[in-house]
Amino acid sequence: MRTPRRFLYVRTLAAALSALALGETMVPCTAFADIPAVAQRQRTEKKIFTDNEIVEGFLKVAFGAEYHLAGRVDRIRKYDAPVRVFADGTRADRKAQLAKIVTDIAAHIQHLDIAMAEASEDANVQVKLVRDRDLQRTITTFYGSERAREIRSSLDPQCLSGFRKNEKFEIEHSDVILTVDNGDFVFFDCAYEELLQSLGPINDTSSVPWTMFNDNVSMGYFDIYDQYLLNLLYDPRIKPGMTVQEVKGLLPDVLADVRAWVRKINNLPQ
């Protein structure tokens, strides 16, 4: 039985509520390649995509939302500041694995400054590590009992993420809830998807077969296709608040640069 992975889009009530310098280093996505399910997927991963395949997927996941409570979802949402991640939980092994995942994400998104934080007050991404039996109770604590029931009936999640944004569509804070006791592959699969979605690409879609933002796809690592999508989103020319038409006008030039970066960082052929 496949484990569902879901994203919760949380609206900000506006009134109430550096770039990573890697030089020429090649950083293949192999942080968890010793897990058989990950290694098998990496061996068969599709790595060559047309411009149209990348652009179509980007527009589908960067705009809209799989599940949202209120607010506009027709604009680019992203962090416009360094991202710091804090892990709250008792499992030291999962915290160490999460730190490796964050390091892996940092190495593969050129213009995103993301790292672990030593203290909760220094973080704008809070990751709550819980046992599966405590998941619904934790969701209730975060969102209240009525909203938690709505989330459960709509999504029946095994992991969850959401963010607050301001009136400029800049993400200000993200919350991620991960279960720690459903096996290594499920943990990595959830952690990658929820962390990446908490950065902005929140619309899961079943029409793009290569992305982890498809509930029928399980990865367990940061795949090539999604590296294209996140590097497009975090290119400095793509600004929070941009519309689809504004982004479309920039994508040809941005995609050319993103292709060069993804090819270099993964040692892909020309």
Q: Are 126 and 175 in contact (CB under 8 A)?
A: yes
Q: Are 174 and 126 in contact (CB under 8 A)?
A: yes
Ramachandran area for residue 156 (φ above 0: left; ψ -120 to 50: alpha; else beta): left
- Between CA 172 and CA 81 the distance in angstroms is 9
pLDDT at 57: 93
235-255: average pLDDT: 96
Instruction: Give the chain's end-to-end CA distance (angstroms, integer).
Output: 39
Decide if pLDDT at 33 tops 90: no
The whole-chain average pLDDT of the chain stands at: 83
62-69: average pLDDT: 62
pLDDT at 1: 32
Domain boundaries, the chain: 37-262
pLDDT at 15: 29
Q: Scanning the structure block, which residue is given the tokens 């290694």?
A: 39
Residues 6+ apart with CB under 8 A from 20: 106, 107, 109, 110, 111, 112, 113, 114
- State the DSSP string of 78-132: B-SS-EEEEEESS-HHHHHHHHHHHHHHHHH-TT--EEE-SSGGG-SEEEEEE-G
Decide if pLDDT at 67 tops 70: no
List, for residues 71-123, the tens digit of each pLDDT value: 446 899 999 999 999 999 999 999 999 999 999 999 999 999 999 999 999 99
Give the Cβ contact number of residue 2 at 10 Å: 9
- The CATH number for 37-262, chosen from 3.40.50.300, 3.30.70.20, 3.40.50.10470, 3.40.390.10, is 3.40.390.10
Which percentage of the chain shows pLDDT scores above 90?
Answer: 59
Half-sphere exposure of 48 (CA within 13 A, CB side): 2
pTM of the entire predicted model: 0.84
Residues 6+ apart with CB under 8 A from 210: 46, 49, 53, 57, 217, 223, 225
- Between CA 202 and CA 73 the distance in angstroms is 10
Of the pLDDT bands very low, low, confident and very high (cuts 50, 70, 90), residue 246 is very high
- State the DSSP string of 214-246: STT---SS--HHHHHHHHHHTSTTS-TT--HHH
Of the pLDDT bands very low, low, confident and very high (cuts 50, 70, 90), residue 157 is low
Decide if pLDDT at 6 tops 70: no
Name the nearest CA neighbour of 63 among 184, 226, 244, 216: 244
Decide if pLDDT at 30 tops 60: no
- Give the chain's largest Cα–Cα span: 53
Q: Which two tokens stand for residue 29?
A: 């996505």
- Between CA 105 and CA 29 the distance in angstroms is 9
Cross-strand pairs, 68: 9
List, for residues 180-229, the tens digit of each pLDDT value: 998 999 999 999 999 999 999 988 777 888 999 887 888 889 999 999 99
